[in-house]
Amino acid sequence: MPTSPETSPATYQLTLMPSGRKGQVSVGTNLLDAARELGVELESICGGRQTCGKCQVIIEEGNFPKHGIKSSPDHITEPTNLEIDYDQEHNLSGRRLACSAQILGDLLVTVPDESQAHKQVIAKAATERSIEVEPAVRQLYVEIEPAVLGDPRGDWERLAQALEDVWQLTDLVIDTKALLTLQSALREGDFSVTVTIWQDREVLRIQPGYQDGVYGLAVDVGSTTVVAHLCDLRTGAVLATQSAMNPQVRFGEDLMSRISYTNTEPQGLSRMNRQIIQTLNDLAEKAAKMVGLSPRDITDVVVVGNTVMHHIFLGIDPAQLGVAPFALATYSALDLKARDLGLTLNRACRVHTLPLIAGHVGADNVGVMLAESPRDHDGISLIVDVGTNAEIILGDRDQVFVASSPTGPAFEGAQITHGQRAAPGAVDRVRIDPQTLEPRIKIIGHDDWIEPYSDPLQTKATGICGSGIIEAVAELFLAGIIDSRGHFIPSVAEQTERVQFEGLTAAYTLVEEQYSATGSPILVTQNDVRAIQLAKAALYAGTKLLMDHRGVNSVDRVILAGAFGTFINPFHAMVLGLIPDCDLDQVVAVGNAAGDGARLALLNKNLRQKAVHLARSATYVETPLETNFQDEFVAALNIPHAEHNFAHLEGLIPDSPPERPRRRRSRIRSRTQ
């Protein structure tokens, strides 16, 4: 047909807001397809059947003559009966269903946030950033041909055909358990069903008729704490968070005790495995209940954890992780069935575990990398996650190195004379007046600073936790009570009774016995100082090793991950030389970044592939094999150690609680709420 100026053009211009995308679209195309052509994906569960209402759009111009383009006819088709029905039931408020509305002329259309597919959510990471919601499981609504005499196919084959016809999904399989409910769901829904599908490969769930709601669980199995976030996999929202103590704590606080429990108790492994599984089942049930769901509504789970927790969670004996060469059973990301692990979620629910890196560098660290990858930032990033071992990640966009350094448990308050876990009653913050040498402390569970010598304690202190002992040692040094080799200075004993020498050892009385819950004074001893020196030297030596591997002398950004990072004062950490010199503003605590990583991988399947890439492209440095490690370790024992340029911090040394760290502390706190 020849085209004349009078003839309508075969295509019209469509402009989509807020993205601003525009392009020519053929007449008669519906807005759902048209938006897709322009690269804007709209939500749709019903597949264009005008029933789910997910693809609502606002027609800004082109539709109504009064809306600007006065002389033009309507540029869009009238609502269909189905759309009118939907409007009467759900009230479209003047919006249109994109799958119904067809283009008859130039249009300007706004896509509201809630209609946008692959929604952006804000990740609670150090650097707030948005992630695209593109989960591994999604829901699809389909109507299938009813069974009739003469069609010998099974219902599953008819459903698979419909999924191919409407959603272009081929080679689908159906989970054994989903198959059991197929026929009743189809008939209850009059041969229309909502299918939950995993990775566009496997049908996990079949619900009668049109259903809206697909949910997943992001889990961080820590040695001490287990956290589960129940997420809406369509919006990306965290609907509920539940946490619990890891019940394995009763078998040993640290990882080595857990390993030896499995070695010495015949039922040790299965007992610890059952307990963590039961805990996850409980957390899932509670989280689901909070928002009126059932655990069977959960069809996808992502799990992170350190190597030992990962193995025990899977039911794998962690024995090999306790002895060199610390061989993992597997370091691959795994795609499993929840039921094979004993998880009582949806019967076909999937479980994805992030990959591991090495015997001491687990899926939790990969989760941290996913949330805070050095590859996503300019300059050199250092990420430190301290537990019994410190996991250290250092790199930039080009290269990432990973190591584990044997800091021992001192940073967690263990093997410290009056050390304890961070719990109510523990001293977690310490200041020592360089003039009077008197301490001020904070106790977990109390907001105010306490000066024991003048301010009768409301609650007595029970011990010192990890952050408390680090601050105490740093403050002892800043107050001139210990020297840079970590030795108590004998002459100080003449200035204060708090410092006492007994033979070759010495101690500082942090809390007198009358203010101590134990009835004995809470001391910081020469041995405690030594333990912190050894731990911080191991941490620094590991960091230095990776800096050497990367060929750098400084870092641009320090990320403190995990509980240790949350409660440590970056200023004191730098005074002690736990971390290399860096602008204090660039030292950030990211709290449970491992859990954030799990959530990222739950919400976006592509990030699972990225996690594998990050894990496999990182160069693992085995500290025991590094000849320099011992030298670096010895060199790092001093406070500040030989290479540490301490001068630039001097103006910041607080005699009263420092402003700067306090502000940071409060920022950190808000990040972990």
Tell whether residue 28 is a contact of a second copy (CB under 8 A): no
Tell whether residue 627 is a contact of a second copy (CB under 8 A): no
The CA distance from 41 to 367, in Å, is: 28
Cβ pair 437, 495 in contact under 8 A: yes
Tell whether residue 329 is a contact of a second copy (CB under 8 A): yes
Tell whether residue 395 is a contact of a second copy (CB under 8 A): no
Cβ pair 49, 141 in contact under 8 A: yes
Window 285 to 314, contacts with a second copy (CB under 8 A): 314
Neighbouring-strand partners of residue 401: 394, 619
Closer CB to a second copy, 153 or 669, in the complex: 153
Closer CB to a second copy, 152 or 292, in the complex: 152
The count of chain residues that interact with a second copy, using the rule CB under 8 A, is 50
Tell whether residue 265 is a contact of a second copy (CB under 8 A): no
The CA distance from 637 to 576, in Å, is: 10
Tell whether residue 624 is a contact of a second copy (CB under 8 A): yes
Instruction: Classify burial at 427, counting beta carbons within 10 Å of its beta carbon; exposed 0-12, middle 13-18, buried 19 or more.
Output: buried
**Candidate residues 120, 130, 294, 332; the one interacting with a second copy per rule CB under 8 A:** 332
The DSSP 8-state label assigned to residue 47 in this structure reads S
Query: For 47, phi and psi rounded to 5 degrees?
Result: 70, 35
Q: How far is the CB of 413 from a second copy (least distance, A)?
A: 30
Q: How far is the CB of 326 from a second copy (least distance, A)?
A: 8
**Candidate residues 340, 378, 448, 659; the one interacting with a second copy per rule CB under 8 A:** 340
**Candidate residues 120, 330, 554, 609; the one interacting with a second copy per rule CB under 8 A:** 330
Closer CB to a second copy, 337 or 549, in the complex: 337
Helix then strand then coil, in percent of the chain rounded to 5, is: 35, 25, 40
**Candidate residues 167, 251, 449, 620; the one interacting with a second copy per rule CB under 8 A:** 620
Tell whether residue 401 is a contact of a second copy (CB under 8 A): no
**Candidate residues 101, 341, 532, 579; the one interacting with a second copy per rule CB under 8 A:** 341
**Candidate residues 108, 309, 328, 366; the one interacting with a second copy per rule CB under 8 A:** 328
The DSSP 8-state label assigned to residue 567 in this structure reads H
Binding mask 115-154 for a second copy (x = CB under 8 A): --------------------------------xxxxxxxx
User: Locate tokens 């399947």: which residue?
Assistant: 605
Q: Lay out the sheet containing 426-432: strands in order across.
A: 439-443, 426-432, 463-464
Question: For residue 325, how many other CB atoms are within 10 A of its CB?
Answer: 10
Tell whether residue 656 is a contact of a second copy (CB under 8 A): no
The region that residue 458 occupies, defined by phi over 0 for left and psi between -120 and 50 for alpha, beta otherwise, is alpha
Collect all residues with Cβ–Cβ distance below 8 Å to 545 and sequence separation of at least 6. Answer: 403, 621, 623, 626, 628, 629, 632
Closer CB to a second copy, 226 or 328, in the complex: 328
Binding mask 173-212 for a second copy (x = CB under 8 A): -x-xx-xx-xxx--x-------------------------
The CA distance from 581 to 648, in Å, is: 9
Window 226 to 255, contacts with a second copy (CB under 8 A): none
Closer CB to a second copy, 73 or 154, in the complex: 154
> CA triplet 541, 393, 553: central angle to 5 degrees?
55
| β 350-353/505-511 pair status | unpaired
Closer CB to a second copy, 95 or 158, in the complex: 158
Q: How far is the CB of 114 from a second copy (least distance, A)?
A: 37
Cβ pair 364, 222 in contact under 8 A: yes
Query: For 185, phi and psi rounded to 5 degrees?
Result: -65, -40
**Candidate residues 290, 327, 423, 642; the one interacting with a second copy per rule CB under 8 A:** 327
Tell whether residue 326 is a contact of a second copy (CB under 8 A): yes
Tell whether residue 361 is a contact of a second copy (CB under 8 A): yes
Question: For residue 131, how many other CB atoms are within 10 A of its CB?
Answer: 20
Binding mask 46-85 for a second copy (x = CB under 8 A): ----------------------------------------
List contacts with a second copy (CB under 8 A): 147-157, 174, 176-177, 179-180, 182-184, 187, 314-317, 319-320, 324-332, 334, 336-337, 339-341, 356-359, 361, 620, 622, 624-625
